[in-house]
Amino acid sequence: MSILINEFTRLIVQGITGRDGSFHTQKMKEYGTNVVGGTSPGKGGTEVLGVPVFNTVYEAVEETQADTSIIFVPARFAADAIMEAAEAGIKLIICISEGMPTLDVIKAYRFVQMKGAMLIGPNCPGLMSPGKSLAGILPGQIFRKGNVGVISRSGTLTYEVVYHLTAAGMGQSTAVGMGGDPVVGLYFRELLEMLQNDPETEAIVMIGEIGGNAEEQAAEYVKQHVTKPVVGFIAGQAAPPGKQMGHAGAIISGGSGNAADKIAAMEAAGIKVAKEPSEIPKLIV
């Protein structure tokens, strides 16, 4: 098994005719993802890389029975794209778009929840179930099918950790890049629960970073509900207070969100915390 996506996932690409949409559609198709359609208003009836293009998500779902969408549209259109997908019956929405205003994300995420759908992102690399499906911008060649689940706030750190896991002979069940904005969809707690319940996943790697208290809450959840080995890493350990480090959500403020507190909370929950990403494979037992 895996979580969220597998070989049966039917994916549509919102913004498929754009530069990023078409480029990553090709990469996903080359990996073997079942890309059944795409959307681009006014370009319905055309094709991109052999994939039919529709004017709306509703039309795409009606014709292709798609259950998952991935969004490559400019930030100012992303909230509408998310809500359009949820309204059309898409159950998993992955928003790659970067720079969405936080209030737009809040509005769109609330709508997604009302429709009983799930959102990953925005400003995220998407997710991968190796050997089954790629829905995102992750580099497929570094992944290997296996039993380690990976969840991360950082896209590039996801790639680095997966590279070290694969090099150590440890494949992955599913890797999810959640995104680093202040507000995103599925987060540590929900994904930890999914990986705990996934029989294919035998160990979990949790990659966090400074800012907010999500890692502390995740550590408490691990302590109470997760029986599988969990290894963690916190990025931004050298960041000074008040200094934003890359992600909009990665900022220490009000005396909270620093790396030391996150590491302490994780260790108190029985999570082994790596000092460097390269140490992670050695800590998985």
Question: Which residue intervals of 46-127 are DSSP H helices?
Answer: 57-64, 75-87, 102-114
pLDDT attached to residue 210: 84
* Strand 133-136 to 126-129 pairing: antiparallel
Residues forming beta bridges with residue 151, ordered by sequence position: 176, 206
pLDDT attached to residue 241: 60
What fold, for 11-120? Rossmann fold (3.40.50)
Q: What is the 3-state secondary structure (H, E, C) of 234-276?
A: EECCCCCCCCCCCCCCCCCECCECCHHHHHHHHHHCCCEECCC
Q: What is the pLDDT of residues 189-231, one digit of tens each?
A: 999 999 999 999 999 999 998 878 889 999 999 999 999 999 9
High-pLDDT (> 70) share of the chain, %: 93
Domains 11-120 and 139-283 share a fold: yes
pTM: predicted TM-score of the whole model, two decimal places: 0.93
pLDDT attached to residue 246: 53
In this model, does residue 119 exceed pLDDT 60?
Answer: yes
Among residues 119, 121, 124, 133, which one has the least CA distance to residue 27? 133
**3-class DSSP state of 103:** helix
pLDDT attached to residue 38: 98
Q: For the chain, which residues make up each domain, given as ranges? A: 11-120, 139-283
**3-class DSSP state of 163:** helix
pLDDT attached to residue 250: 45
Check if 247 is active-site: yes
Radius of gyration over every alpha carbon of the chain, rounded to an integer in angstroms: 18
Q: What is the pLDDT of residues 86-109, one digit of tens each?
A: 999 999 999 999 999 999 999 999
- The C-alpha atoms of residue 70 and residue 123 are separated, in whole angstroms, by 12
Candidate list 24, 164, 225, 247, residue with the active-site label:
247
Superfamily holding 139-283:
Succinyl-CoA synthetase domains (3.40.50.261)
pLDDT attached to residue 276: 94
pLDDT attached to residue 232: 96
Tally Cβ neighbours within 10 Å of residue 282.
12
